[in-house]
Amino acid sequence: MTPRWQRAALTPSWIRWLPCAFVYLTVVPGEPRFRRSAWSAIVPWEGSAWCDPGSVDEWVDRARRRRAGRDADDAELHARQHYAWMVRIRATRIELFAEMCRRRDLPVPHTVGELLLCLAEFGLFEVTEGDGDDPWVTPRLDRDPLEVLPLSESERELEARAQRDDQAVLVAIAIRRLAQRTRRRWRRRVVSTSLTSLAGAAGVTEEQARRSLADLGQIAELGIDAGRGGDWLRLSVPWPDFRLRFPFTELPAPEHAI
């Protein structure tokens, strides 16, 4: 990525809702508003809105090459199971997004170009027409799915819970990165940081970070000591379990988090 490009401000939870190809549209010029043609060299407008996972045979071949001999059969079984789970979750995501489009009376996008127009109708981009084939584009990806999507009351409750889980994963990723720089102490690594610093690294508010720490204490056995007062934290991180549970560099799409 050249210095001319940057990541648009983004609410991470969109990774659960939007087609895979939306990531192309998160890479934007430095200006807050730009011509659509600025994307021409990097965005495959006629490409599919959803990524192609390939065939199960391709997955099996790769798995067997990595684990030859007697382990190859186990590798094949695992690859087939993993593929089946991934395809099922992907199909659910495709149907959920299509349902959101239907509720808004919008055509379901199949290409990246159609996806941009669809997201503009949802209010995630402002596309100013009247400039021929090269309209002005302003990203609005920092909007909350709860403000944008046509959700029922029960669906809103589920989304709020899912966003809390998203925030916990983002905080866990930030903790894992800090822990990787420290020395291991018998299946634990100790991280000293502040709530302010941790929240900034995770891209969440301090209130969200505090709540996520409590969640991670329950689900990932994270030890939390705030004994010095203020926002100082001493975290005891299970290792390597924590690293294996949260290996991501950013919040993953559900089918990639299996």
| pLDDT of 3 higher than 50 | no
Q: Which of 85-89, 169-173, 193-197, 223-227 has the lowest mean pLDDT?
A: 223-227
How much is the mean pLDDT over the chain? Answer: 92
- pLDDT number for residue 167: 98
- pLDDT number for residue 2: 45
Averaged pLDDT, 206-232: 91
Distant-in-sequence, close-in-space partners of 201: CB < 8 Å, separation ≥ 6: 174, 177, 178
> Where is pLDDT greater, at 131 or 17?
17
- pLDDT number for residue 256: 80
Q: Which of 75-79, 161-165, 208-212, 224-228 has the lowest mean pLDDT?
A: 224-228
Averaged pLDDT, 95-103: 98
Q: Which of 34-43, 58-67, 121-130, 144-153 has the lowest mean pLDDT?
A: 58-67
Averaged pLDDT, 152-171: 98
- pLDDT number for residue 85: 93
Per-residue pLDDT band at 255 (split at 50, 70, 90): confident
Domains of the chain plus CATH, in order, are 5-49+109-148 (1.10.10), 153-256 (1.10.10.10)
> Where is pLDDT greater, at 112 or 256?
112
Q: Which of 125-129, 176-180, 203-207 has the lowest mean pLDDT?
A: 125-129
- pLDDT number for residue 226: 82
| 11 CA to centre of own chain | 9
pLDDT in tens, 19-73: 999 999 999 998 999 999 999 989 999 999 999 888 999 999 888 888 766 678 8
